Structure 1
Amino acid sequence: MSATRRPYWLPGNCPPWCLLVTEHRDDDHPEDRSHAGRDASVTLTAADPLDLDGEPEEMRLYLLQHYRECEPRIWLGRNDTDRGGHLTLDEAEALAAELRRLVKVGRGEDAGE
């Protein structure tokens, strides 16, 4: 796809975080008509490995939004497997708040749980 032409199925511009701007095509399968953001990962040093291949376990996360969805979801999964799930932005925000709270409690910065 050229920088000036969108595929026929894409009604507007990609969100600013989409890394696939130049990769969307007219012939993309309907299931593949999504925007995807940069991925991030966190190494899980306390996790039992899924495989014994010497690779560290990681939690991987990224933004994903099918072109017909009204807002992105966040994929949160383990390594490159399908073990994980999608969170709405509100769910991810609530999870982040709970994680921050637990970190404070665990570090003794907050006596109440």
Structure 2
Amino acid sequence: MAFSGKFEFESEKNYDEFMKRLGLSGDVVEKGRNSKVITEVQQDGQDFTWTQTYSGGKVITNKFTIGKECEMQTMGGKKFKATVKMDGGKISTVGDVTYERVSKRLA
């Protein structure tokens, strides 16, 4: 599956609980909820560069390889370790909370 492209946020499920599990403060969670997010994905095999641009100009870039632990950063600047797994290209899980975000392809 090729995920490379530019995407605009449309909808989400379990945002608050997922962000709380990541340890983000209430003000950062609120900022994220009210922010327009454009995501640009560059894929090279199992390697990804995932760049999110938030309204107001904040840009966060995370790089990861499917199946390998990496360090990532939240929009609030919090760093955490994660292992990214492919699951239909739709789902993120922290503990027992699953977050799903739907985006439309722009390019």
TM-score, normalisation: structure 1: 0.32
TM-score, normalisation: structure 2: 0.33
Q: Which structure ranks higher in relative contact order (CA pairs < 8 Å, sequence separation ≥ 6)?
A: 2
Structure in which a larger fraction of residues adopt helix: 1
